[in-house]
Chains A and B, each alone.
Chain A
Amino acid sequence: MDGVWSWADHRVIRNSGDPLIFAVDDASLFSLSREAHATLCRWRSSTDIELDKIPLPDQEVLRGLCDAHILLPRSQEKRALPRIQAGEVPLSTLVLEVAQDCNLRCSYCYAEAGTYGAAPCLLDPATARRAVRYLLDNSGEEEHLTLIFFGGEPLLNMPAITTATREAISYGEKIGKKVHFSLTTNGTLLDPEIIKFLHANHVSVAVSMDGPPHIHDRNRPDQKGMGTYGEIVPRLAMLLEESPVPVAARVTLEPDQWPSLVEVFDHLTGLGFHEVGIAPVSPVSKDLLPTAPQETALLQGFGQLAERCIAHARQGRVMPFSNILDLLGRIHLGQTKPVSCGAGLGYMAVDAKGDFFPCHRLAGEADFSAGSLATGIDAGKINTCLDSLNNGRPDSCSKCWARTLCAGGCHYENHLRENQLGLPRGTSCKFIRGWLELGIRTYAELRTDGAIEAMGCRLEGRAQC
């Protein structure tokens, strides 16, 4: 261990317990003893450290940091994450907009009442079948694929869903592919027959519900402006009964509702959902942009849920909060992201007309159309779109400690904020960093407690996408 060493990018996180150190490029997480931390602080501002010249016992601690790859040989080139191009990645997930129409009028809908800005229409079964074949034929070596039924409200178009499902199963059997089905619904149209179909085909269902009636009904009224909570609950009960797969709640909350985060979570788990995922609303209009205090409140709510997650884990239970489970899974593995999501890179959306978009949120945005079932996915167009979204972003990200966990954030969110609302780049960053740091602290506490064992393989299974 001769030679000159310099610091790899890292972040020290003070904790209630031992200080933590997160090495950015590896996404590795260590805890430091107080002495080791003190030593680190002494040397942190030095560059070009000649180990042999450092007095013991500092030298010993620094050697340990070399072993941990937090100190790297000065000559070692900085690792760049691979640049992934559309066309290099086989298709593995396809979102089918089976219905560009909806029976609800949710206040925050980014799909403009499900129509994505065009005339309401339904995906015809023949196109659905072609889309399924396209997925299976373009999935390369992938054996397990995912088909997501989306909309608008997908249950408005059961014929397309049933056709697509049957095609996926039979064609999949023929060419040796297994398709997993998912569906996101507002829940108001569930009936016994539909539920039977969903159960029989093990469709993973996410029901969009926003919490107790006063919150849910404000956000998610029907076309007449009436609340829909009452409609959904009995149907949900039917769906939950003997469901062979977990049923999840998909929550969207507006900034002024964020202080009610924990209440929403508790309410929905009380209804029997197996898992609850909560999303802060996408700012489709300026009045949905959060203020700084609102973001703080949101983080605090997440923090409370994280604490509860730890408490549950100590009792050997897994708290079913999707957001934290997903994040803990990635931190557990030390999974670094070369891109923020799979949009356009293995994950595509097809609208009701058979046109491709990089993801379900960008569907309907003319600038992001990327081919059609007739002509195939236009990889070049995807790369252009992603490049324009990422334009210069890697530079601003390059100095951020969270870059390997975040990798730039949701494309759609960035598009809304930067292109439509004209905000400068990086308005989500503070929140994202706060959230990621919360995840790291939570993980560290679970780990040092030994409580992580309860979560064990559940976490490893999460970090898939």
Chain B
Amino acid sequence: MRKKRPIQALNEKARAIQSLAEGEEKSVVALQQGPPAMPVGCTTIFDTGWETNPRPTYPVGNCLSSAKDFHGCAGDCWWPAQVPDGLTNHQDFDKQCPNVARDWRVLKYD
């Protein structure tokens, strides 16, 4: 008999919303219960990097970490789908905004 959750999703919309959170929750639970399943390599190209931080510790959430990781990951093409590639076509991309964490608003992609 499955243990009843305090908040149970009933319709498809609710399930979709809860599964968003569950993706994070699973890592938290796993961390508290034992070693997490580690990814091989840093990230798949469709993640913004493992700094998306599913852990309950600071900095919780996405935005801050992605900004801090931007140039570290853009230059070497860790995120080829998301940011201009620093190795081949956009070697000087960092010049327009060398301080992404502070100045991200000036970032241009064209």
Contact = CB atoms under 8 A, between A and B. Distances in A.
B: contact size bracket: 20 to 34
A276 B10 CA distance: 27
A448 B4 CA distance: 11
- Of B6, B17, B56, chain A has the most CB atoms within 10 Å of the CB of B6
A36 B17 contact: no
Interface in A37-93: 60-61, 64-69
A144 to B, nearest CB: 23
Given A1-B56, A67-B25, A68-B18, A332 B7 contact: no
Contacts, number: 82
Contacts of A27: 11, 13
Interface string B13-56: 11011101110010000000000000000000000000000001
A310 to B, nearest CB: 14
B60 A1 contact: yes
Contacts of B25: 67
Nearest to A60: B6
A28 B4 contact: no
Contacts of A9: none
Interface in A19-35: 20-21, 23, 26-33, 35
A30 B60 contact: no
A443 interface: yes
A402 to B, nearest CB: 15
A155 interface: no
A2 B56 CA distance: 10
Nearest to A447: B10
A154 interface: no
A3 to B, nearest CB: 9
Contact of B8 (A2, A30, A35, A66): A30
Contact of B11 (A2, A32, A64, A334): A334
Contacts of A26: 13-14, 17
A28 B9 contact: yes
Contact of B6 (A23, A64, A332, A448): A64
Interface residues of A, number: 32
Contacts of A36: 6-7
B10 A29 contact: yes
Contact of A29 (B6, B14, B20, B21): B14
Contact of A28 (B5, B11, B21, B58): B11
B12 interface: yes
A333 B11 contact: yes
Contacts of B56: 1
Nearest to B7: A64
A31 B10 contact: yes
A307 to B, nearest CB: 18
Given A67-B21, A67-B25, A33 B5 contact: yes
Contacts of B6: 32-33, 35-36, 60-61, 64
A443 to B, nearest CB: 7
Contacts of B9: 28-30, 68
A67 B8 CA distance: 11
A331 interface: yes
Q: Which of A35, A36, A68, A443 has the most CB of B within 10 A?
A: A68
Given A2-B60, A26-B17, A65 B7 contact: yes
A239 interface: no
A183 interface: no
A249 interface: no
A334 B16 CA distance: 10
8 contacts: A23-B14, A28-B11, A29-B9, A30-B8, A31-B10, A68-B7, A444-B10, A447-B10
Interface of A: 1-2, 18, 20-21, 23, 26-33, 35-36, 60-61, 64-69, 331-334, 443-444, 447-448
Given A20-B10, A64-B6, 17 more contacts: A18-B8, A23-B14, A27-B13, A29-B10, A29-B11, A32-B6, A33-B6, A36-B6, A67-B17, A67-B18, A68-B17, A331-B11, A333-B12, A334-B11, A334-B12, A443-B10, A447-B10
